[in-house]
Structure 1
């Protein structure tokens, strides 16, 4: 009996102390807005994310529209200054394309997109390189660089694009009758992303005639292949070259984009605050045009899912809604840099519908 009383006397204070600590703990949680059940906060976080979906895009769009004006006038001094900076760093006229002059037999080509063993210029590789730089020293009076943005849909910009002296298109876009009114069909240079060759043409490991026939809309344009950006691009790009040669194609002339030029161009834009993993094809071609053209016009450059005029939903490309790799390219940031050049009178960005005007 004595033992029981002793236990009660010891246990009772412990119980009271535990109760007091428990109450104090709950009061502390309540006062600090901390929930003991983590899952109770999850719906709120998801709701916040969903409710703000597109907020960042809206901010970018508002900023873009604030810097954009249809009343554009070229500033010759700004144009010459920027062009001089660009050509001084990148030398597109002599280095944009791999040639026998800038890449001698026995030299090494260093990939610009990854660290790997350089590829040596063997006799076989040297033989298929362009003998000279395709751009020469000539300057085209007007160039249209055509991005593939959905903003071109129903734009009626086709005739205006085709009126440019030199037309650059990106990533083998479709140019059939469905799109001619909006994007035109004239092509002097077209890029060919190896991912398209892998996905649409089975890496040119199967039937190759469909690939050759698909190139007919581009006529005798230069076809620019980034064969030396990544190791996995080399073989398929060479197969594209040999396919056109084997079929005796009277179509595009394949040439290879120079990784040295791409490294210089990436550094040029990084020095101006563009920190994407790699510049997109669009800004590469816009940069090239700024070195070889006296007047540069950009079409289809609009990296947003809403139209600038009425905020209606538009597709990512004028021909499909496939999304770009956002972890590689920073399209809104690139567009912001191009908009600065538009505002400075260096390039003209065409947004919205085209009107019959004299340029």
Structure 2
């Protein structure tokens, strides 16, 4: 079909160019994929004078239903995405999906941390917003549009401070938390927030913190996240950091790697001890194996699927209309070519190259052209 041919043409052209820094030759700020998006694709910057993505044609709608059916039959995220007391009983064994290790036997204590039944079993939504963290969200004015979705999914505990609300909204129904966030010790100048985020007593009283705490501007400034230290010391800062997400589901990949398990369990116990409203759930490694197979069978080459692709795939099963925001993996804007930060809240780069974000984007573009999801890559209507 035309959509698949277009995507294949993009991939072949990208392979030929071997773009490393977002350029095709000197002085050209666009890769072929950007040119395609701006000139030939249905993905447009949404604004008062510009149309959004068109509704899929009948043929595309059939492809949309076929893709959803394949996801449901191969992965069954509605019932299997989360470990539950129903699908993982006491005495069963959990096999890590990210490494070859001895399976973990489910003890009564571990079993008690599992939710009783699949949280998505009786859940269907007309609209879902899956919010990535790409710098393309900066100055997008997409906050209200994101908040209007019935079900909002966010990735890796992103900041939702008032300074970002206009662009990313503040509604959350499900948020993921990579355990590395819980053990990470962030350098003072590597994390971003606003000066107003810094208050006396909240962070170590270094000279820099004391100076910034006197400022009230909401301009971007270094952000000092609570150093959770694997939740082995003070745990209240972690519980308090989740207040912004309300009673959302907190999705933890506790069984991808063995070192994820202990810190994920400490996160559960912390929420219990401090009466947190967030509801922790564990990503099922069996579901991840099926999802990895699903995407590899479609040509995706990556060591690991990104969190964004995982939740976008899940949303495609849960929702009739899936809208993706912040899923642009390149350092320049698709409409104009201006530079972008890596995330809407900072410019930190991933140290581990385990994901293939450009290739994932090509597959998401294919889903967009088939009507399975709707990619938003520009400003939203006010």
Q: Please indicate the TM-score interval, normalised by the length of the shorter structure.
A: 0.7 to 0.9
Q: Call closer, same or farther: CA 1:320–1:52 in 2, change over 3 Å.
A: closer
- State yes or no: 1:72 paired with 2:57: no
CA contact (8 A) 1:61 1:304 kept: no
Query: Hey, what's the Cα distance between the residues in 1 that align with 2:151 and 2:115?
Result: 20
Match of 1:290 in 2: 316
**Greater RCO between the two (CA within 8 Å, min separation 6)?**
2
Structure 1 residues 119-175: Cα deviation after superposition (integer angstroms, max 9, x where no partner): 110000011100000012331110000000000000000000000000000000000
**Match for residue 29 of structure 1?**
none
Larger helix proportion of the pair: 1
Of 134, 148, 154, 1:149 maps to 134
Q: Decide whether the 8 Å contact of 2:37 with 2:334 is kept in 1.
A: no
Pair member with larger Rg: 1
The aligned runs of 1:246-257 (5 Å cut-off) are 246-249=273-276, 251-257=277-283
Instruction: Say yes or no: does 1:128 pair with 2:128.
Output: no
- Counterpart Cα distance in 2 of 1:84 and 1:114: 29
5+ residue gaps, structure 1, are 1-50
SS for the counterpart of 1:321 is coil
1:54 aligns with 2:27: no
Q: For 2:315, what is the secondary structure of its paired residue?
A: helix
Deviation for aligned residue 1:68: 4.4
- Work out the CA distance in 2 between the residues paired with 1:140 and 1:69: 23
Alignment RMSD: 1.6
**Structure 1 residue 344 corresponds to structure 2 residue 326:** no
* CA positional deviation for 1:62: 3.4
Work out the CA distance in 2 between the residues paired with 1:274 and 1:63: 20
1:235 to 240, 262, 267: 262
- Where do 1:1-359 residues align within 5 Å? 53-55=21-23, 58-65=31-38, 66-70=40-44, 71-74=53-56, 75-199=60-184, 200-249=227-276, 251-325=277-351, 327-356=353-382
Q: Do the aligned partners of residues 210 and 55 (structure 1) sit closer, same or farther apart at CA in structure 2, a change above 3 Å counting?
A: same
In 2: Cα distance, 1:101 partner to 1:300 partner: 35
Q: State the aligned residue count.
A: 305
Work out the CA distance in 2 between the residues paired with 1:61 and 1:325: 25
Deviation at 1:53, TM superposition (A): 4.2
TM-score by length of 2: 0.77
